[in-house]
Amino acid sequence: MIKRPAVPSPRKARLREYQSKRDFQNTPEPSGDPSAGPRSKSKLLYVIQKHQASHLHYDFRLEWCGVLVSWAVPKGPSLDPSVKRLAVQVEDHPLEYGDFEGVIPQGEYGGGTVLLWDRGTWTPEVPDVDAALQKGELKFSLSGQKLSGSWVLIRTKRNGAGRPQWLLIKHRDQFASTKDIEAEMPRSVTSAKLLAEIAREHHGDVARAAKGDPVGSRAR
């Protein structure tokens, strides 16, 4: 008898790349188990994870269609509307990833320390998010603990690896400023820890994690 694959749910299909890259026996990251299902909240989750992997970056994630659509932002967001920050789109992540802070073991995909840098909700400023993502221009507002107000993501081209490249830009509003938010507010919004402190707690590489903490910030 021929076994037919079940028709994948959109969420399941969208998490295939995420799951294929990771060995959940070896990484503490969430597996994106389809039985976990999307959250039944009316507000859409927004999260940024500071990730000291082979290169330091900030993973910017917006809940959409039961997953977290994700971009890696090497320099992190800027509050200054004149500054455009490169944001490379990466694979969709499960919603449960929005709770993850800890250490991905060396040798695993994305090995390094992850810090929950900001979290809150987002609101589209476009009538059709799918169309906006397709077109490559998504306007939205953030309501996080560190970031607020109006922002835009604009797709420019694909990089060498075929990943779509976007620019993350702050719109002019009362939340725009020239303050260096990454340097001034480096701590986790859930644990109040620095990268080095998270690495120590989870038996990661403390010295390597500390390279992602701002110079002059002191581990407690």
Q: Give the binding site for Mn ion (CB under 5 A).
A: 51, 59
CB of 112 to Mn ion, least distance (A): 8
The pair of structure tokens assigned to 134 is 């397709």
CB atoms within 10 A of CB 75: 14
**Single-letter code of the amino acid located at 117:** W
Q: Which two tokens stand for residue 184?
A: 């001034």
14 or 51: whose CB is closer to Mn ion?
51
Q: In the bound complex, what is the minimum distance in angstroms from residue 122's beta carbon to Mn ion?
A: 19
Per-residue DSSP letter, 160: T
Q: What is the C-alpha to C-alpha distance for residues 144 and 14, in angstroms, rounded to an integer?
A: 25
Short-list 73, 66, 128, CA closest to 96: 66
Name residues whose C-beta falls within 8 Å of residue 2's C-beta, 6 or more positions apart in sequence: none
- Please state the closest distance from residue 211 (CB atom) to Mn ion, in A: 15
Both tokens of 71, joined, read 């971009």
Please say which residue, 51 or 193, places its beta carbon nearer to Mn ion: 51
37 φ, ψ (degrees, to nearest 5)? 65, 160
Give the shortest CB-90-to-Mn ion separation in angstroms: 7
Q: For residues 205 and 54, give the distance between their C-alpha atoms in angstroms, rounded to a whole number.
A: 12
Between residues 51 and 170, which has the closer beta carbon with respect to Mn ion? Answer: 51
CB of 5 to Mn ion, least distance (A): 30
Q: Are 104 and 29 in contact (CB under 8 A)?
A: yes
Provide, rounded to whole angstroms, the least separation between the CB of residue 72 and Mn ion: 5
Q: Which is nearer to Mn ion, 14 or 150 (CB)?
A: 14
Complex with Mn ion: residue 29 or 132, whichever CB lies closer: 29
Rounded Cα–Cα distance for residues 45 and 33 (Å): 18
Residue nearer to Mn ion on the CB measure, 68 or 152: 68
